[in-house]
Amino acid sequence: MKFTVAIDGPAAAGKGTISRALADHFGFAHLDTGLLYRAVGVKGGDPVAAAQTLGAADLARDDLRGLAASEAASRVAAIPEVRAALVAFQRDFARRPGGAVLDGRDIGTVICPGAEVKLFVTASPEIRARRRWLEEGGTAAPETFEQVLEQVRARDARDMGRADAPLRPAEDAAQLDTTDLSIDDAVARAVALVQARLPG
């Protein structure tokens, strides 16, 4: 069975948590597409060759969440040949047998417009900033809540305003606002949406 779940949304809306939970629940493969550019960046060497030969081991590295990987990702993401190779990687992953869940910012609109299920996960900027701030340690975090909120709003403006594949819900995406939902409730709603589209 080939079955693709495309999940998009802004930072800290909960799309990663929901994506992993869906993959676990249905036994689908999961791909956090944001890690792809980081993996290419930290792999080193020729970025185009790195993108074209990206494998599971590259995505399993434990240094993909750090600042250096983030900066490397932004450098390689500007290379058209890298983007083309990673689009192909994502589309191949999406149609693998057994089902797949992909989360990112342009999955339902650009990468997998034909996905069987499309979700757009969102939450208010204030809630997303609070989640991010608490992840970083809350009052012990290096930045104030106000600084994190400013970063979240700036990232939203950048992602939604970019010319190439801006962040927006696909026309046929189900919207899931997690502002006032617990993780369990958000996951339950997502599971129900996927369940309703499964064949048989």
Q: Which residues sit in the known binding site for ATP?
A: 9-17
DSSP 68-111: HHHHHHHHHTT-HHHHHHHHHHHHHHHTSTT-EEEEESSIIIII
From the annotation, which residues make up the binding site? 9-17
Neighbouring residues of 193: CB distance < 8 A, sequence distance ≥ 6: 117, 119, 174, 176
Closest CA to 11 of 135, 112, 94: 135
Q: DSSP code of 150? A: H
